[in-house]
Structure 1
Amino acid sequence: MIFKKQAEDEFKIKSVVSSEMDRELKCCAGIYAGKPPWLSKDNRIRTVNFAKSICSETARLTTLAIGIQIEGSARANWLQEQIDKVYFRIRHWVEFGCAYGTLFVKPNGEGLDIFTPEDVILVDYDNQSIKGLVFRDTYTEGDKFYTRLEYHRFVEVWQDGKRVCPYYISNRAYVSKSADDIGKKIALEKTKWADMMEDTPPILKANGERLDGPMFGVFRTPQANNIDLSSPMGLPMYVEAIEELRDLDVAYSRNAGEIFDSEKIVLADDRLMMPDGMNIKGRTAIELEKQREEMKLPHYVKNVFGSDSKDFYQEINPQLNTEERLSGINALLSQIGYKVGYSNGYFVFNEKTGMVTATQVEADDRRTIQLIKDMRDKLQDCLNGAIYALSVYADLNGLAPAGLYEVTYDFGDITYNREEDRARWWQYVMQGKVPAWVYFQKFEGMSEEDAKAMVEEAQPKEPTLFGEE
């Protein structure tokens, strides 16, 4: 964090993240990026980067068919527009939050930006509530690197005998010729952040009361922080399974290495390499090697020199232990999955086993369902904070009329099975509980008009009094 010292000097603050927490987050960031500390220089121990797969799958399930509806006023319509702009990025946000344990979402004037713990400094918190934070924003122009530090905090002051707690935002800009150096301080007017204020006036509600929350949303993983118990920062969701992730990479690398080295080898006497009747006496090694190349022998044939009168020939076919190794790998995957919150057997290389009946499937998936429920709760809390920050931002800059708003969230069922749903709805049709055209519209992709027309066409016509139509 090359900007940490500069921020501490500029704003007269001190980071409150413990050194143990900082080291753990950096280690997990490397694991997520595919650079775990156990990689070997000789490439014998590689990585399958399963931590990335865990975070990606969790984000997929968490945001499955997510719907966010904001209603109630013109302000609500404006907020809906802002969320719609970032709708397809929300899954990425959740993945980063799972990887780093904590993610911050903040208005930037044109939408929302995200920040991982690598780009923030936590400077003040109280009872798991963040009160002070410094964000780092950067961009490059030509050979110059620009950095902006944005300091958010609540400040308790007394006015007219009453305690108030206004919110302040301070911005400082820096320029450098190296990405490894924050550089010298520069006026905001000389950067792309020219429309920002160095120090905002006190930010309060219209009635003079304190804001309901900070001007950013926070996504935090559900599990408790056992490294810094009082910290509001979350832990990467795979932090409890680091040892197993290392073992998985070792097991995979050894299995892959065994497969790579399993190619058949043929050891053949030098005399078997030459055409019949060829006199090899007196020929140099270079001449003999040239002769072998001209014969275009398969690459797995290795030449050996016979030491007796008999020609030597032997085939070596290494035996693989693939089944035993896959069994061990799947045991590791199951243990990793359990530690990060998934049901046993959710992650396997071959197939999910032990699922016999629908009831058993539901029971075995219950742990996974609870994990995703917890993740969705944390996501809603983060988005609520970000939407509130957007609303305050709109007040400060006159971006939308003031007004109340209500946010409704909807998520897809992670256990949904289309074929089971189709069969159930057809049963409803057969029982007369719903008209057939509803089924065709829902599962056959028909419009309501076409579905009703088809059902009507299929109805038997009633005979008339004289048997005529």
Structure 2
Amino acid sequence: MKFTRLLTLITEVLNKDSETKIDACLTSQMARDIELWSRMYEDKAPWLEKDKIYSMGIPAAVSGELARLALLESETEVTGGTRADYLNTQYKKAIRYIRQQLEYGSAKGGMVLKPYVTSTGISVEYIHGDAFFPINFDSSGKMTMCAFASQLRKGQKIYTKLEIHELTNGLLRISNRAFVSTNDFSLGSEISVGSVEEWSELSGSVTFSGMDRLPFGYFKVPLANNSDSTSPLGVSVFSKAIDPIRKADKRYSQIDWEYEAKETAVHIGESMLKYDKTQDRFIYPDGKDRLYRGLQFNAGATDKPLLDVFSPDIRDSSYYNGLNHQLRLVEFNCSLAYGTLSDPNNVDKTAEEIKSSKQRSFDMTKDMQGALQEALEDMLVAMDFYTSIYHLAPVGSYQTTFNWGDSILSDREKELAAMQQDVTAGIIRKEIYIAKKYGVSEEEALKMMPPQQNDPFGIQEE
């Protein structure tokens, strides 16, 4: 069932049972945008045509690169005591493949990190932007009501489960409702959630006190929502580059057609070919059907040669320049450094523009790390909550540490220049600067320095 259709049906169910009409913050326009981002990520953009316009895979490349940069040097753990050790074990298990999940979430505007208890501990379900339905947010931007939908097909019947989380005045209510239908146009009739074998262990509704947030983390792409400025929801990392991506796909397809259309061929008169009656076709020399093209020449003085080589010039340079221009626009609108997708050897940008583009990428990476850290911290609060509810570990506290690294978030040239100034000022030793610049140990840096040399920093050691 389409995301937009399911949103409409869920809203109808909630409004039917509510005294006041629920105005879902996930508007129909946002739902359509999420569907579009998902299709683009899966190489199913609406402008693609079989054998005519192909996908370059740009949405997946952009999402994957930003996820890679955000997690390149990340380290995180839970510390404290026995309870913290238990949480850390479950936490490490949950984030083992977080890079792939961050890529999906980045493409679809966000994702929910929802812990749940199993027979072996606590697992985490990653639910992407096209599979959950935010209903309400508070003034601080925290989600206070959300619906999750899952469907099963058994024969001609479609079973739908709605899991609704709602936070009101410190009370957390989690309810499960089930429906059965024979079509994709409605949820159908409501049935007991326990009547479906796969959901038989779920309770209809349960309420917990003392909660100040929903029991999951919510990662929101840290970009302004240019689709709906009033919406608290996140947007795809490539939401501002949809048109450049469309044009890049078109330019890429034009290049492919240029090579295919200009492929060398030999036009040969059919009178020179042997005809195979059993196959009802002409037999080309050495079976090279792709190279030869049989033609019928009319008799007369205007006849062309019986063998005519077709090998026109390929206009690839112009097309590649056009494609490269679109890729630069994609990089700019997706906060990627120039050369990430485009040709890095193209030097039509000034050095300052290149440096600015790198800084833009650094800033986006830092913002994504901050958003992910907030989601992980909320996820851990939920894991700690379930640990208490189900008595999975002794009572205790925990601390979470995050180390994102700094090589991605700092400009190396500026860092080395600052270190050189520190050497000149006598704040740090020369070998520390050399070790940093060349990526060696301080001992190796000392060996690299000649025993007798003029001090390039103008410092006279005592």
Into which bin does the TM-score normalised by the smaller protein fall?
0.7 to 0.9
CA contact (8 A) 1:8 1:14 kept: no
> 200, 203, 225: which one pairs with 2:206?
200
- Structure 2 counterpart of 1:245: 245
1:355-410 alpha-carbon deviations (Å, 9 max, x no partner): 999x9986652221111111111110111111111111112222222211111112
1:10-47 alpha-carbon deviations (Å, 9 max, x no partner): 5534423222222222222211121112123x531222
Given the alignment of the two structures, is residue 87 of structure 1 paired with residue 99 of structure 2, yes or no?
Answer: no
Task: Compare 360-369 and 128-137 and name the one that shifted more.
Answer: 360-369
Query: Once the 2 structures are TM-superposed, how far is the Cα of residue 139 of structure 1 from its aligned partner?
Result: 4.7
Task: Compare 117-126 and 368-377 and name the one that shifted more.
Answer: 117-126
What does 1:332-411 align with in structure 2 at a 5 Å threshold?
332-349=326-343, 351=345, 364-411=357-404
Given the alignment of the two structures, is residue 58 of structure 1 paired with residue 66 of structure 2, yes or no?
Answer: yes
Query: Once the 2 structures are TM-superposed, how far is the Cα of residue 294 of structure 1 from its aligned partner?
Result: 7.6
CA contact (8 A) 2:105 2:129 kept: no
Change (3 A) 1:329 1:420: farther
1:170-229 alpha-carbon deviations (Å, 9 max, x no partner): 11133456677644433333333333332213321xxxxxx2422111111111113332
Query: Once the 2 structures are TM-superposed, how far is the Cα of residue 231 of structure 1 from its aligned partner?
Result: 2.1
Secondary structure at 1:308 match in 2: coil
> 284, 307, 310: which one pairs with 2:299?
307
Change (3 A) 1:39 1:124: same
- Structure 2 counterpart of 1:463: none
In 2, the alpha carbon distance for the partners of 1:105 and 1:194 equals 23
Secondary structure at 2:259 match in 1: helix
CA contact (8 A) 1:335 1:344 kept: no
Change (3 A) 1:144 1:65: farther
What does 1:118-137 align with in structure 2 at a 5 Å threshold?
118-127=130-139, 128-137=141-150
1:139-198 alpha-carbon deviations (Å, 9 max, x no partner): 566776543211111223xxxxxxxx3221111133456677644433333333333332
- Structure 1 counterpart of 2:228: 228
In 1, the alpha carbon distance for the partners of 2:281 and 2:142 equals 79
Structure 1: gaps of 5 or more residues: 157-164, 205-210, 275-284, 434-469
Change (3 A) 1:103 1:331: same
Task: Compare 362-371 and 339-348 and name the one that shifted more.
Answer: 362-371
Given the alignment of the two structures, is residue 116 of structure 1 paired with residue 124 of structure 2, yes or no?
Answer: no
1:230-271 alpha-carbon deviations (Å, 9 max, x no partner): 322101111111110110011001110111122212223445
In 2, the alpha carbon distance for the partners of 1:27 and 1:192 equals 31
Q: CA RMSD in A?
A: 3.4
> 12, 27, 32: which one pairs with 1:23?
32
- Structure 2 counterpart of 1:323: 317
Change (3 A) 1:51 1:295: closer
What does 1:265-304 align with in structure 2 at a 5 Å threshold?
265-273=265-273, 292-293=282-283, 296=286, 298-299=288-289, 300-301=291-292, 302-304=294-296
- Structure 1 counterpart of 2:48: 39
Given the alignment of the two structures, is residue 425 of structure 1 paired with residue 440 of structure 2, yes or no?
Answer: yes
In 2, the alpha carbon distance for the partners of 1:177 and 1:145 equals 6
Query: Once the 2 structures are TM-superposed, how far is the Cα of residue 87 of structure 1 from its aligned partner?
Result: 2.4
Aligned residues: 406
Change (3 A) 1:350 1:312: farther
- Structure 1 counterpart of 2:81: 73
Q: TM-score, normalised by structure 1?
A: 0.76
Change (3 A) 1:295 1:122: closer
Change (3 A) 1:295 1:67: closer
- Structure 2 counterpart of 1:9: 13
Query: Once the 2 structures are TM-superposed, how far is the Cα of residue 421 of structure 1 from its aligned partner?
Result: 6.0
Given the alignment of the two structures, is residue 188 of structure 1 paired with residue 193 of structure 2, yes or no?
Answer: yes
1:291-327 alpha-carbon deviations (Å, 9 max, x no partner): 9528546322223324226754321102111122112
Change (3 A) 1:361 1:327: closer
- The letter for the 1-side match of 2:28 is S
CA contact (8 A) 1:8 1:15 kept: no
- The letter for the 2-side match of 1:116 is H
In 2, the alpha carbon distance for the partners of 1:120 and 1:270 equals 63
In 2, the alpha carbon distance for the partners of 1:136 and 1:117 equals 12
Q: TM-score, normalised by structure 2?
A: 0.78
In 1, the alpha carbon distance for the partners of 2:288 and 2:60 equals 40
- Structure 1 counterpart of 2:214: 214
Rg larger in structure:
1
